[in-house]
Amino acid sequence: MIYNEYGKSGIKISAISCGGMRFEKTEDTDAAAELVKKIHSNGINYFDTAPGYTNSEQIFGKALPEIIRKSGRESFYISTKTSAETPSAAKKDLETSLSRMNLSYIDFYHMWCVMDIQDYETRKKNGVLKIFEQLKDEGLVKHICISTHMSGDDIKKVIDDYDFEGVLLGYSAMNFNYRERGVDAASSKGLGVIAMNPLGGGVIPQNPKLFSFLKTQENEAVAEAAIRFLLNDDRITSSLIGFSNEGQLNEAMSAIAGFKKISETKREKIRKQLKEAFNEFCTACGYCNSCPQNIPIPKMMDAFNYYLIEKDSRQAVINRFKWHWCLAPDDELFRKCVKCGKCEKLCTQKLPIIKRLEIIREIMSNEPDKK
């Protein structure tokens, strides 16, 4: 295993880490807990969960006490989160997480799913960060972090505003452009950077031809290549993989085992190819982001990217909004476009944004899971 230092904490984190939101059979907590133990025995020492990932915290609650008995509490680091907007709700969330996981403290506690600057400022003004600090003083939380899907520029604003110790953000070969400045800012300020979703939610391994140029070695699987794309990035502390089963663990371990650092020139070439290969894709440059209706167009177009890659898959769009952007099908944002055309004039890729928004609106209106 390769270990990297998490920001300025002095803690060494495995270069691939375990995300707890994709266990194959969540109802079979014994099997999922066995997988967690296996992951730990392979040298992976960072586990990420959240109260909203079905019964993920309960699964860790089954596995971690056994790991502690065998290898000690210092043999792993646990990360969980709260999206609470008030101090009392944040405290309650932490107590629930501790009790579910049978732990006395959380290593990395995240202000969770921060969607935009206003959302961040509201929570901060309400005192959420103050209670985080109090919980840290009480020893219930070791490090205060943020988990976000904001653009790179907004991530930079937030980490300039508050001394978070680490950031958890979606970052992969598919969307690196969108978060580039955030990753740069976090790493140069000395924060730990955990990249979630390095396989683009499974889209990269499911489309090996499309992503074949990621490969830098002979006989390399595209999933290995996507993981190594991030291993080659010194700014990333760890890539968080939502393991479903042992097969995926083995794939990730083989990406680590056969990892060879590539030159900066070669890495730049891959990044250039990635940008070029996705011509009809939104590159998340953000130039269109001044919609009079406050529609977050880059987020909408990001979800549409998945529709294109997964060959008109409605479910891909629904999943992206639900799991990544925390937008429910009945969110009014899907129905707010007045077709003024401002965004299309600004779009650097000249994308048919209005048409795409119509398709998204139709998909989300017919989503049976609508609240």
Which two tokens mark 366? 């017919």
Least Å distance, CB 96 to ligand SF4, is 37
Q: Please say which residue, 111 or 357, places its beta carbon nearer to ligand SF4.
A: 357
Q: Please say which residue, 3 or 278, places its beta carbon nearer to ligand SF4.
A: 278
Least Å distance, CB 319 to ligand SF4, is 20
Q: Please say which residue, 32 or 333, places its beta carbon nearer to ligand SF4.
A: 333
H or E, element range at 196: strand 192-196
Q: Please say which residue, 78 or 288, places its beta carbon nearer to ligand SF4.
A: 288
Which two tokens mark 339? 């077709």
Q: Please say which residue, 2 or 346, places its beta carbon nearer to ligand SF4.
A: 346
The answer to whether residues 301 and 353 touch, using CB atoms and an 8 Å cutoff, is yes
Positions in the binding site for ligand SF4 (CB under 6 A) = 282-288, 291-293, 295, 297-298, 301, 337-343, 346-349, 351, 353-354, 357
H or E, element range at 12: strand 12-14
Least Å distance, CB 292 to ligand SF4, is 6
Burial of residue 317, with CB atoms counted within 10 A of its CB: 0-12 exposed, 13-18 middle, 19 or more buried: buried
Distances 309 to 15, 92, 184, 281, 328 between C-alpha atoms, Å: 28, 40, 27, 9, 22
Rounded CA-CA distance 255/31 in Å is: 24
Q: Please say which residue, 86 or 290, places its beta carbon nearer to ligand SF4.
A: 290
Q: Please say which residue, 14 or 151, places its beta carbon nearer to ligand SF4.
A: 151
Least Å distance, CB 344 to ligand SF4, is 7
Q: Please say which residue, 253 or 346, places its beta carbon nearer to ligand SF4.
A: 346
Rounded CA-CA distance 19/48 in Å is: 5
Rounded CA-CA distance 107/77 in Å is: 6
Least Å distance, CB 267 to ligand SF4, is 23
Q: Please say which residue, 251 or 344, places its beta carbon nearer to ligand SF4.
A: 344
Least Å distance, CB 348 to ligand SF4, is 5
CA count, 13 A, side-chain hemisphere, 104: 5
Least Å distance, CB 268 to ligand SF4, is 21
Distances 290 to 82, 342, 347 between C-alpha atoms, Å: 30, 8, 11
Alpha helices in the chain (DSSP H): 29-41, 56-71, 87-101, 117-126, 128-137, 152-161, 176-188, 203-206, 222-231, 246-257, 264-277, 297-309, 314-319, 342-346, 353-365
Rounded CA-CA distance 359/363 in Å is: 6
Least Å distance, CB 184 to ligand SF4, is 18
Least Å distance, CB 361 to ligand SF4, is 11
The answer to whether residues 236 and 228 touch, using CB atoms and an 8 Å cutoff, is no
